[in-house]
Amino acid sequence: MEVIVLKNVVLLALPGVTPFEFGVICEVFGIDRSDMGGPTFDFTIATAEPGPVRTSLGYDMIIDADLSAAASADLIAVPAHAIGPVDERYLEVIRAAAARGAWVLSVCSGAFALAQAGVLDGRRATTHWMHADRLAAEYPATEVDPDVLFVEDGNIVTSAGTAAGIDAALHIVRVELGASATNVIARRMVVPPQRDGGQSQYIQSPVAPVFADSFATVTDWMLENIAQELTVDQLARKALMSSRTFARRFRADMGTTPSAWLNRQRIIRAQQLLEETDASLETVAQETGFGTASVMRHHFLKVLQTTPTAYRRAFCVRQPA
């Protein structure tokens, strides 16, 4: 297989395409963010028969490019679409991309097109939970996991419904281009915090969450002093509240405890340092408030199910050839 460096992205517009999932791919890969220091992709929307393509909502999109645009794509994206037989021309594009080592990404029911193409045989995959049983029944050679946001198996990435496509797309950007590029896209999109739920992938919120207004000053201060040992009493004084009131209101407004929120931000910052610097594990642990490498390792194993060393090896920023 060739070594793929993510630049050329082709989004397939299949008949019955769903607008939201289609828009997710356009939002991540189709916008020029170079003015913010972000990546710019050669982005093309292609279809088998150029012209009107009917969406799931009953209106048409006019697509000019045919499938020849996909021949040299570094990433082929297949959004959700009406489940059913897929035109063989799309399946050939998917097979060819998978065979040459390009990324192949599906969002929601787009996994059915990948399964029809045969690229999910012997692989682990996911789709929207509503369709998971059907995918598993119709394609028994595929191991379907209905409990995750996305699955990366080799160069094939399948995602669950709706916003999980954002998680999967940003994951590919992160693997290929590193944390900085991902952060620019995520900030522009105002991506919410990574959802918890026992996910085993290395998918964390690439930027700090959108804060409740009442805690913006405190959370900003927490991020600025993340290397320090911060107590609830300190944070409460900063918020001009009693410790008990602060803890109760923080959980109500932010959806988690102050310590859990801070721990997640420390992990996010540690991920970025591991990806972008050669700093030792002890240095990263000190700069992110974990104190020691062993404590940081404990939290990585608990949250990401991997070690800092393994994370760095998998996600260090690649230098252009």
CATH of the domain at 13: 3.40.50.880
* Residues 46 and 179 grouped into a single domain: yes
* Residues 142 and 252 grouped into a single domain: no
* Residues 43 and 130 grouped into a single domain: yes
Domain hosting residue 153, numbered range: 8-189
pLDDT of residue 51: 97
Q: How many residues does the chain have?
A: 321
CA 18 to centroid of chain Cα atoms: 19
pLDDT of residue 214: 61
Structure tokens at 78: 């297949």
* Residues 292 and 232 grouped into a single domain: yes
CA 49/CA 110 separation, integer angstroms: 19
Structure tokens at 130: 């509503």
Is 195 contained in some domain? no
Is 194 contained in some domain? no
pLDDT of residue 143: 95
Tokens 């063989």, located at residue: 88
Judge contact between 176 and 318, C-beta under 8 A. Answer: yes
What Å distances lie between residue 76 and 72, 82, 101, 103, CA to CA? 10, 18, 11, 6
Q: How many domains does the chain have?
A: 2
* Residues 279 and 131 grouped into a single domain: no
Task: Determine whether 108 is an active site residue.
Answer: yes
Judge contact between 139 and 175, C-beta under 8 A. Answer: no
Is 219 contained in some domain? yes
pLDDT of residue 212: 46
* Residues 173 and 217 grouped into a single domain: no
In three-state secondary structure terms, 45 is strand
Question: Of 70, 108, 177, 293, which is the active-site residue?
Answer: 108
pTM reported for the whole predicted model: 0.66
* Residues 183 and 269 grouped into a single domain: no
218 burial via Cβ count (<10 Å: 0-12, 13-18, 19+): buried
Judge contact between 8 and 176, C-beta under 8 A. Answer: no
pLDDT of residue 1: 44
pLDDT of residue 321: 40
DSSP secondary structure letter of residue 60: E
In this structure, what CATH number is given to the domain that contains residue 271?
1.10.10.60
In three-state secondary structure terms, 156 is strand
Please report, in tens digits, the pLDDT of each residue of the chain (321 residues total). 444 579 999 999 999 999 999 999 999 999 998 888 888 999 999 999 999 999 999 999 999 999 999 999 999 999 999 999 999 999 999 999 999 999 999 999 999 999 999 999 999 999 998 999 999 999 999 999 988 889 999 999 999 987 889 989 998 998 888 777 887 888 777 654 344 433 333 334 434 444 445 677 888 899 899 999 999 999 999 888 999 999 988 887 777 888 988 998 899 899 889 988 999 999 999 999 999 999 999 999 988 888 999 888 877 765 444
Is 203 contained in some domain? no
Residue that is last in its domain, among 189, 221, 254: 189
